[in-house]
Structure 1
Amino acid sequence: MSFCSDAIAQDYIAPCKYNNLLLPQIQKENKKDSRNVITNRFIYFVSPDTIDLPFIDDFSKASLNSNFPYINHFTDTVLASGACVEDLGYLTENQRFMLDTSYSYFYDLANKRIDSVPQDPVIVNIYSGNNCLESNPLSISVYPEFYNRYIFDTMSGKAIDSIFVGASDTVYSDTIIRTTTIFFAAVSSAGFWMDQRAYINNTLAVNQPSIGVATLDGLDEYGMPYQEGNATATSDVLTSKPIDLSGFVNADSVYFSFLYQSAGNGDKPDDIDSLILEFKDIRTNKWSRVWNVGGADVTNLTVFNAASIHLKEPILLADPDFFFDGFQFRFRRIGSLAGNNDHWHIDYVQLDANRQNNQPIADIALFQDIPSILKRYTLIPRDHFSSADLIDTINVPVKNLANNSALAPWDASANEIITMTNLSSQTGANLSFQPGSNILTRIIQPASYTLPAAGGDKIIIRTEFNTAPTSTNLIDCNDTTFSDQVFENTYAYDDGSAERAYGLEGIGIKRFAYRFVFNQPDTLVAVQVHFTNVIENVENLIFNINIWERIGKDFVINPVDKMLYSSTNKKPIYVDSINGYATFVLNDADSLLLVNDTVFIGWSQSDERNIEIGYDVNSTKGYNNMFIFTNGSWKPSTVSVIGSPMIRAIVDNYDGYTTSVNNPIKPNTDPASVYPNPAIDYLNIKHGLDGNFTIRIIDISGKILITESNTSSIDISELSSGIYVIQLESSKGELFNARFSKFK
């Protein structure tokens, strides 16, 4: 006889380990592998332009350095983001290198033989920082790949034919540095920053002064942890471009100021964590710490604090000197390297002359995104949408940071942007700020929108709000905000941003159910889930996807679960898959899953580890639809943080590709790789697959654009510029994904 025990389950919320909005970008290029050596697929050399005062950024628009530089060429040592090059003499953007000494071959007419001479090395200095200031960087000598001239004209000595040295002898071999392409780039004259490790967002902070903050956390610019484990060290930095401060003196009253917040919607920094501000000193060419705050110093996690530093001429020889052409500053975070935690948020960074300590910010700004215009969901399928789904009103707050008298005209509009159809236009009396009234609110009325005519598989409604302050307007770009409401084939409660992670803990079989109520009967064809782990990688955790018509959640009548579908042997697929969501297509059901109105989507697991689903704390619409099975019955969720798990229902006409594997297969130990990356016309594929295989090119929405079989090169010339996934499927069902960028 055997006995089964019911689960004693508890759901909980924790910080995220990954950032799902950053991971769909190009995969990380510079990282350390298991042998602790640098493996660079690309090295970006940048040449920054010096900018003039004033320096003002509130992060309401893109101002970080791009990861996709345009090609430029330099022949001398240049300042680099992540690496420096010395004695560089190559003018081709496609130069390849190898670790061992390379030789140039020639025919020696005097001795009637083929001879060779060694080529000079290129010295690559790998720096841990962004400005090549460390005194002891890791230096690597690499040699240009060479032509092996193996047929010569013995009369003239000229080469008749030539071949490249084989791939096993070049950078593709198991060497300390792997480089296929070097991109030389001039930093865009737009923007203020050298790097892009900070995460620009409007979801992690609370009560932000304006739209957009720069968040420093334990994730790199690609949304991945810097390092697994419990290490605490420098991670995110935010470094300015060089600034011309030459000629300034004390009488110019040059001040640097900014606003900062600890935690907000994110994770509170630990007591030993800190946020540091450093200025570059021309006398030492090193960073000088001018300000810092520790995790223990901040108790209010929902306000922005002000900091101000007065730049002065040096008095003593040992004093730092900041008044020079090429001055830079940087914010540096010390905290956990292992995840999306220990958050610091920065706003309104300002450096200018003729200022004073703690001077008010003379700006009128919008500081909240326009939320979803829907009542119950953030996404509704196109065919299910009606005017009854529109929320009656939306409050749009406008903030006067100077707290003085000011006027600001305003207007609002709604347009279907595919057909360019106007749905609504609003205007009203000016916003009239008086001292003491620093926030005023205007109302948008989505319920009054004139809906577009029926037809089409997709519509996008853009709601926009604009202000035009007549005075007190330091920054123009924070005077407008908009949101796009997409109607296609999805029901969702979340907005696509995971501030926390949701999971179950406890013994026995644990179950979670998420209630969706369809507006009309339809076929459920797929489930999307955003996975993010907190404590450990659980990609080998086995769970079941369950879909119920009803669950016995304290029902007085018929308290029995009715299962519609169950798919076993699933594994978490982390958010570096397509678009941040793993898509599980319900294609092995015996019959179509017709949903009349209510359906519960969830999972069950016996593994004691936590599966960790993304949790959106900015949308509360899913909270009252969360249920867990504990102590033998279904109960509403008891988590204290109100939000929405990132699980979505796909109906009817989904034509994307599943990212699930019905029966887990041992992964191939020789994964696929592609080159060149970025590519322009053709993409070459390197893999270790035996037998037949299928290749798919997929865009970030999950749509399959190209399908080929058994080839090592694909024509991508017709693709638009952007980021894509190439997926290889073997005859055994093994799947391999690689990400690449396409340039025109």
Structure 2
Amino acid sequence: INPPSIGVASFDGLDQFGNPYDNSALNTYGGADTLTSCPINLFANSSGTPYSLSDSLFLSFYVQRKGIGDAPEGGDSLKVEFYNPSDSVWKEQWSLQGGTDTIFQRIRVRVSDAKYLKKGFRFRFVNLANLTGQLDHWHLDYVRLKTNITLAIDTVLDDIAFTLPAVSLIKRYTSMPYSHYKALVPNQQNAMRNTLKLRVRNNSYQKRPINSTNDRVYDPTGAAVFTNSQSSNDIAGNSDSTYFVTLTPFAYSPNFGDSAVFEVEHYIGLPADANKHNDTIRFRQEFYNYFAYDDGSAEAGYSINASGGKIAYGFTLLKPDTLRAVQIHFSQLNDDVSNKLFKLAVWKDIGLVGQEELIYEKINQKPVYVDSINGFATYGIPDTILTVSGNIFVGFIQNTADFLNVGLDRNRINNNVMFYNTNGTWFQSQVEGSWMIRPVFGDSIVFTGSGKDLVKKRGKIYPNPANSEFTFESPENIKWVTLRIFDMTGKLFKNSRVINESTINISDLKQGFYLVAFTDTNGQEYFHKLIISR
């Protein structure tokens, strides 16, 4: 989307849990996402001097319609409202109708009424949109409330920033099973990129110097295993500069158990800068038990509306392994299709070289919407030991002509391994991006929860969100005997015996979404979603 700096606030028709605000009917319309400021003292500055309208108070920001997502239509809009703490009323100050932008446009909204010059002033952004899901995208960047703005010269930012996120150092994938990476030893360099391409923007109106660009990789112990620093040229005003990081002969260490996480960091060395937060970007290189092409964020949904239609996603294994599950993110937009059936499918070949060879299918599956932004549902393969090697294809076969909307990451392009079949012939997808489908491998059976399982909630856990611990309280006189905690990939973190009102220590778990499973004496499982926030 090419923003002025890294990190934007995106607005659409999904709530904070990744669910539609209202999909009770097609094209339901209304207020969707809201971004509200903290209370601000507009009565006086930090020195105690009262503000006045002559101080030229402006709210300024950059906005883009659509980006690489869905364009808001003419009836959609993004608006700015101001809050008057004296009467607790929000009033619209600015709005922009839907459309498509190729660049971010700079907007300035003046505080022109003295009734807002009070303690407790706030402002907010609200999008009026289709409430049925991931539609009508707006992107917001660099929001500032400033005094003494002269419009004639306030046209650019005095800031140098990264504009694109850090990327995986693996050639083809954003993640792969650690066991597959280890299988390359001593030639793990074959899986690594040779160079990285990073982009920095000078938002200032004049040429600015950069002392250096710096790159680091930290292993799971926190030790720096790759360091690179290079001097950099000045960047012309209001322009981009690209620099390259040479990785050869760096490769990740294969010596960390059955999984590992490496932290990749890039930062700019600047003599002075208005905003240090966008001078550093990071990538979390995860080696768990799955392959992924996507970056974990869906900008759109991909569908084929054909009964019997198939999609197949190609993966190249680095060693023979057992396929345990397939994870799929289904994007929610327009109709709720969580009651529509499909067959989970695995092919050895889809006829690109020889005959189509279906080696596994699991009938009566349904799209599962996970209560988290870009959450993946896990479809297990517990009924057989499915040993695979070389090239495989994973996907599904539709029972009906409905739009199932697999998440589509439009930042990473992998059309060469994405195929569809609606009439008996396989074709390569021409819709650019990466499907959010991930095959899971390993020696142990992966925990999975169906949509039906996930609504089995008895008892309660509190607090939720939790910080370092939570308490489980059982209903009635049920005695709970085991507790398990999984992350959203199905990875097991805890497995222990508990009794009613047990306090569970989770200080060793990272922030994020988890699934807590309790099993009673009859073997019945009940589930709670847990958020860890610090």
TM class by shorter-chain length?
Answer: 0.7 to 0.9
1:249 paired to 2:48: no
d(CA) in 2 for partners of 1:258, 1:578: 25
Other-structure match for 1:366: 162
Spell out, residue by residue over 1:106-157, the C-alpha distance to the aligned partner (whole angstroms, 9 max, x if none). xxxxxxxxxxxxxxxxxxxxxxxxxxxxxxxxxxxxxxxxxxxxxxxxxxxx
How far did residue 743 of structure 1 move? 8.6
Q: Look up the match of 2:436.
A: 646
Residue of structure 2 equivalent to 1:162: none
Return the alpha-carbon distance in structure 2 between the equivalents of residues 647 and 576 of structure 1. 17
| Residue identity matched to 1:267 | D
Classify the secondary structure of the residue corresponding to 1:212.
coil
Out of 336, 355, 369, which is 1:537 matched to? 336
Matches within 5 A, 1:418-567: 418-435=220-237, 438-452=239-253, 454-471=255-272, 473-507=273-307, 509-553=308-352, 555=353, 558=354, 560-567=355-362
Deviation digits for residues 649-682 of structure 1 (CA, Å, limit 9, x no counterpart): 2222456412249xxxx87997424143336453
Equivalent residue for 1:391? 193
SS in structure 2 at match of 1:415: strand
The percent identity for this pair of structures is 31
Residues 533/668 of structure 1: CA separation in 2 closer, same or farther (3 Å cut):
closer
Over 3 Å counting, the alpha-carbon distance change for 1:376 and 1:681 in structure 2 is closer
Match of 1:51 in 2: none
Alignment of 1:73-472 (within 5 A): 206-228=1-23, 229=25, 230-246=27-43, 247-281=50-84, 284-295=87-98, 298-299=99-100, 301-312=101-112, 321-357=115-151, 358-385=154-181, 386-435=188-237, 438-452=239-253, 454-471=255-272
- Separation in 2 of the partners of 1:698 and 1:520? 26
Deviation at 1:410, TM superposition (A): 2.2
3-state SS in 1 of match to 2:383: coil
Aligned partner letter, 2:285: Q
Shift of 1:395: 1.2
Structure 2 CA distance for partners of 1:670 and 1:374, relative to 1, 3 Å:
closer
Name the counterpart of 2:381. Answer: 586
- Equivalent residues in 2 for 1:586-605, closer than 5 Å: 586-589=381-384, 592-605=385-398
Residue 698 in 1 paired to residue 486 in 2? yes
CA, structure 1 residues 346+579, in 2 after alignment: closer, same or farther (shift >3 Å)? closer
**Could you tell me which amino acid in structure 2 is paired with residue 625 of structure 1?**
V
Shift of 1:467: 1.0
Unaligned runs of 5+ in 1: 1-205, 315-319
Change (3 A) 1:684 1:741: farther
Residues 650-689 of structure 1: pairs in structure 2 closer than 5 A: 650-653=440-443, 656-660=446-450, 671-678=457-464, 680=469, 682-686=471-475
Q: Is the 8 A contact 2:480 2:500 kept in 1?
A: no
- Structure with the greater alpha carbon radius of gyration: 1
Contact 2:306 2:398 in 1 (8 A): no
Using a 3 Å threshold, how does the CA distance of structure 1 residues 645 and 730 change in structure 2: closer, same or farther? farther
Q: What letter corresponds to residue 525 of structure 1 in structure 2?
A: R
Residue 17 of structure 2 contacts residue 373 of structure 2 at CA under 8 Å; is this kept in 1?
no
* Contact 1:577–1:659 (8 Å) recurs in 2: no
Q: Per-residue displacement from partner, 1:481-530 (whole Å, max 9, x unpaired)?
A: 111211232211111111111222123x2222111111233232222112
Q: Which residue type is aligned with residue 174 of structure 2?
A: T
Distance 1:486 1:321 in 2: 51
Instruction: For residue 302 of structure 1, report the CA deviation from its aligned partner.
Output: 2.1
Report if the CA contact (8 A) 1:668-1:734 is conserved: no
Deviation at 1:464, TM superposition (A): 1.6
CA distance 1:278–1:447, shift in 2 (3 Å):
same
Query: What code does the residue aligned with 1:677 have?
Result: P
Q: 1:535 and 1:420 mapped to 2: Cα distance?
A: 44
What does residue 363 of structure 2 align with? Answer: 568
> Tell me, what secondary structure is at the counterpart of 1:608?
coil
> How far apart are 1:462 and its partner, in Å?
2.4
| 2:424 corresponding residue in structure 1 | 632
Contact 1:677 / 1:741 at 8 angstroms: preserved in 2? no
Judging changes above 3 Å, is the alpha-carbon distance between structure 1 residues 706 and 596 closer, same or farther for their aligned structure 2 residues?
A: closer
Is the 2:134–2:331 Cα contact (8 Å) retained in structure 1? no
> How much does 1:714 deviate?
3.8
Give, as a single letter, the amino acid of the residue that structure 2 aligns with 1:490: Y
- Provide Cα deviations, 1:155-181, integer angstroms capped at 9, x if missing partner: xxxxxxxxxxxxxxxxxxxxxxxxxxx
What CA deviation, in whole Å up to 9, does each residue of 1:173-208 have, x standing for no partner? xxxxxxxxxxxxxxxxxxxxxxxxxxxxxxxxx011
Q: Quick check: 1:692–1:731 contact (8 Å CA) kept in 2?
A: yes
Q: Give the TM-score taking structure 2 as reference length.
A: 0.87
**1:578 touches 1:725 (CA, 8 Å); kept in 2?**
no
Q: TM-score, length-normalised on structure 1? A: 0.64
Does structure 2 conserve the Cα–Cα contact (< 8 Å) formed by 1:218 and 1:342? yes
Aligned to 2:527: 737
The alpha-carbon distance between structure 1 residues 303 and 668, as it changes in their structure 2 partners (threshold 3 A), is closer
**What displacement does 1:702 show?**
2.8
- 1:461 CA drift (Å): 2.9
For 2:517, the equivalent position in structure 1 comes to 727
Letter in 2 for 1:276: K
Structure 1 position 446, deviation (Å): 2.7
Q: Do the aligned residues in 2 keep the contact of 1:671 with 1:688 (CA within 8 Å)?
A: no
Q: CA RMSD in A?
A: 3.1
Q: SS at 1:387's partner residue?
A: helix
Deviates more, 1:725-734 or 1:566-575: 725-734
Indicate the residue corresponding to 1:108 in structure 2.
Answer: none
Q: Which amino acid counterpart does residue 630 of structure 1 have in structure 2? A: T
Mapped contact 1:719–1:742 kept (Cα < 8 A): no
Contact 1:671 1:687 in 2 (8 A): no
